[in-house]
């Protein structure tokens, strides 16, 4: 049984990696795509921004619609949509078609990821669930870490077509292994739409969603401009920046495993969620005061990489434990909150940079962390009062 569970979780990890790789890998080849379609870089960026907006919009809806269907069938459907979308992207010369081939799979993105987290958690004991989910989230980190440099390398060494085909290969591998090795996963007790939507009456869930929006905004608001910070403030060369970002990504994977273990430790999980924004705030303050020191920035980035990896685990844990009776729907809400936080953080930190300068974006991140902590504390210390509107324990 343990070997079957390990194989199941590994296949889910590959599936999540393929989907995130499709989402993020395009960043590494945007200039080439702009050249291919004779458009500006800003227009090519729609391939990323519209994908993210589609994920955010579909997050709460799509997992809800597919909640009662055999999970293996749903995963095969989603992976097939991604394979088809990738194939169209390889061969089309029309930018509008390319956008459509990106947005349609993005709508199905939350279905697969929410199911992957739910199935991984359900395959083990409740105590081991955070560790199982952490293994799947490694696919998220790997997709974000490897997507950009790998697609860029393949395009530079071979061709843009080869890079686009690489996305197809990974998703096809996930599709085939899911079909061959994952057993039928019927839904034991189907929840009605009303039962799932009822969790939205719980104030504890809204506090958790807000905390995740602010937490993700703090992480990705800063990360989105971190390469510019390293070149402008620390004066690193672009090659050094690329190396540091790669190390950051690898430390994300370490953070995934650390968070998985700590969140499985029962009572200490709430402590971790409280300590996380405080620790990240200290890291951002250290970045601000040590921005011109190459050695200090390199060392602090190692710690930040671990925290960045823990972020996804904590976000997913925080929302799903607020609505354990509807895990698929809760995971969809997690994906929406995470994407909204990323968009909000990027926008706010961009405004801070425009008005105050690159160095001050760290304070934008710290403001988000303060707001995050303000949402976490009511749940931790007054959860009995926030179980459900009009109800009490």
| Listed residue (331, 338, 363, 343) closest to 113, CA to CA | 331
Assess if residue 91 is contained within a domain: yes
Q: What pLDDT, on the 0 to 100 scale, is given for residue 82? A: 97
The model's pTM is 0.77
The domain in which residue 236 lies consists of: 198-386
| Pairwise CA distance, residues 368 & 326, whole Å | 28
Three-state SS for 212? helix
Identify the band that residue 368 occupies on the pLDDT scale cut at 50, 70 and 90: very high
For the segment 209-219, the average pLDDT, to the nearest whole number, is: 93
Residue 50 has pLDDT above 70, yes or no: yes
In angstroms, the CA 263 to CA 14 distance is 23
- Residue 239 and residue 120 in one domain: no
Is the domain of 203 the same as that of 317? yes
Residue 93 CB partners (closer than 8 Å, separation 6+):
36, 37
pLDDT digits (tens, 9 = 90+) for 299-319: 999 999 999 889 988 998 899
Same domain, 162 and 211: no
Q: What percent of the chain has pLDDT over 90?
A: 35
Query: How many domains does the structure of the chain reveal?
Result: 2
pLDDT number for residue 106: 93
User: Which of 150, 181, 212 lies at the terminal end of a domain, its last residue?
Assistant: 181
| Whether residue 388 has pLDDT greater than 70 | no
The winner for highest mean pLDDT among 62-71, 249-258, 364-373 is 364-373
Q: Please, what is the end-to-end C-alpha distance for the chain in angstroms?
A: 37
Asked whether residue 191 is assigned to any structural domain, the reply reads no
Between 341 and 145, where is the model more confident? 341
Average pLDDT of the residues in 63-71: 85
Question: Which of these, 301, 302, 374, 313, lies nearest to 338 by C-alpha position?
Answer: 313
Give Cα separations from 24 to 17, 155, 209, 222, 226 (angstroms).
10, 15, 24, 17, 17
Residues 87-111 have pLDDT tens digits of: 999 999 999 999 999 999 999 999 9
Residues 171 and 274 in one domain: no
Residue 56 belongs to domain with CATH number? 1.20.1250.20
Give me the pLDDT at residue 73, please: 95
Nearest alpha carbon to residue 116 among 317, 318, 327, 262:
327
Interior angle at CA 145, CA 308 and CA 174, nearest 5 = 115
| pLDDT over 50 at 393, yes or no | no
Whether 224 and 351 map to the same domain: the answer is: yes
Of all residues in the chain, what percent carry a pLDDT higher than 70?
93
**Residue 60 domain-assigned?**
yes
Q: What is the mean pLDDT of the chain?
A: 86
- Write down the pLDDT at residue 123: 85
Element (H, E) at 381: helix 361-382
On whether both 62 and 143 belong to a single domain, the answer is yes
Regarding predicted confidence, which is higher, 188 or 168? 168
Domain C-terminal end among 151, 181, 211: 181
**Could you tell me which residue, 276 or 190, shows the higher pLDDT?**
276
- Mapped onto helix, strand or coil, the DSSP state of residue 385 is helix
Tell me: do 220 and 163 sit in the same domain: no
What pLDDT shows up at residue 78?
96
Domain end (from 181, 208, 241) = 181
Q: How confident is the model at residue 379 (pLDDT cuts 50, 70, 90)?
A: confident
Residue 393 maps to a domain: no
Please tell me the predicted confidence (pLDDT) of residue 380.
80
pLDDT tier at 385 (50, 70, 90 boundaries)? very low
Q: What is the pLDDT of residue 74?
A: 95
Residue 171, token pair as written in the block? 């998703």
- Tell me whether residue 156 is in a domain: yes
| Residues 124 and 213 grouped into a single domain | no
Q: What is the pLDDT of residues 273-286, one digit of tens each?
A: 999 999 999 999 99
The reported pLDDT for the residue numbered 265 is 65
Q: Is 170 exposed, middle or buried (0-12, 13-18, 19+ CB in 10 A)?
A: buried
| Residue 278 lies inside a defined structural domain of this protein | yes
111 and 41 together in one domain:
yes
Q: What is the DSSP letter of 184?
A: P
**In terms of domains, do 105 and 209 share one?**
no
Residue 69 lies in a domain: yes
How many whole angstroms separate alpha carbon 368 and alpha carbon 214? 5
Q: Is the pLDDT confidence value at 391 over 50?
A: no
Burial of 221 (0-12, 13-18, 19+ CB in 10 A): buried
For the stretch 234-247, pLDDT in tens is 988 877 887 887 88
Give the pair of three-digit tokens for residue 154: 């393949």
Alpha helices in 66-202 (DSSP H): 71-91, 95-122, 129-157, 160-181, 193-197
Element (H, E) at 325: none
Question: Residue 27 CB: number of other CB atoms within 10 A?
Answer: 16
Residue 191 pLDDT grade (very low, low, confident, very high; cuts 50, 70, 90): low
Name the pLDDT band for 387 (thresholds 50, 70, 90). very low
Q: Do 246 and 149 sit in the same domain of this protein?
A: no
pLDDT digits (tens, 9 = 90+) for 144-175: 777 777 887 788 788 889 989 999 999 999 99
- Contact between 386 and 202 (Cβ < 8 Å): yes
Assigned domain for 138 exists: yes
Instruction: Provide the 10 A C-beta neighbour count for residue 135.
Output: 17
pLDDT tens for each residue of 40-49: 877 888 888 7
- Are 266 and 129 within one domain? no
């Amino acid at each position: 049984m343990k070997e079957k569970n390990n194989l199941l979780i590994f296949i889910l990890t590959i599936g999540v990696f393929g989907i995130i790789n499709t989402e993020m890998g395009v960043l590494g080849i945007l200039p080439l795509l702009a050249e291919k379609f004779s458009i500006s870089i800003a227009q090519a960026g729609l391939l990323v921004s519209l994908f993210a907006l589609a994920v955010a919009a579909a997050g709460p809806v799509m997992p809800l619609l597919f909640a009662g269907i055999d999970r293996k069938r749903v995963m095969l459907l989603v992976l097939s949509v991604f394979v088809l979308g990738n194939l169209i992207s390889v061969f089309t010369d029309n930018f509008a078609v390319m956008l459509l081939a990106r947005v349609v799979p993005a709508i199905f993105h939350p279905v697969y990821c929410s199911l992957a987290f739910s199935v991984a958690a359900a395959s083990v004991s409740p105590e081991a669930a955070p560790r199982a989910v952490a293994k799947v989230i490694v696919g998220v980190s790997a997709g974000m870490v490897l997507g950009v440099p790998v697609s860029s390398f393949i395009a530079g060494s071979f061709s843009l077509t080869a890079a686009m085909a690489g996305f197809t290969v990974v998703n096809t591998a996930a599709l085939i292994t899911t079909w061959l090795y994952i057993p039928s996963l019927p839904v034991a007790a189907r929840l009605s739409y009303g039962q799932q939507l009822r969790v939205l009456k719980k104030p504890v869930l809204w506090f958790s969603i807000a905390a995740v929006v602010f937490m993700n905004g703090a992480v990705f608001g800063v990360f989105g401009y971190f390469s510019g910070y390293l070149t402008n403030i620390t004066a690193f060369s672009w090659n050094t920046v690329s190396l540091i970002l790669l190390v950051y990504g690898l430390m994300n994977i370490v953070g995934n495993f650390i968070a998985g273990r700590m969140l499985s430790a029962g009572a200490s999980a709430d402590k971790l969620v409280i300590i996380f924004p405080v620790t990240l705030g200290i890291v951002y303050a250290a970045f601000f005061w040590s921005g011109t020191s190459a050695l200090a920035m390199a060392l602090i980035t190692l710690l930040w990489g671990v925290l960045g990896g823990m972020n996804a685990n904590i976000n997913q844990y925080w929302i799903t434990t607020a609505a354990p009776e509807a895990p698929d729907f809760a995971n969809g809400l997690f994906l929406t909150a995470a994407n909204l936080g990323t968009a909000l953080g990027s926008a706010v930190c961009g405004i801070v940079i425009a008005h105050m300068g690159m160095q001050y974006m760290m304070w934008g991140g710290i403001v988000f962390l303060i707001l995050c902590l303000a949402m976490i504390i009511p749940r931790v210390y007054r959860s009995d009062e926030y179980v459900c509107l009009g109800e009490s324990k």
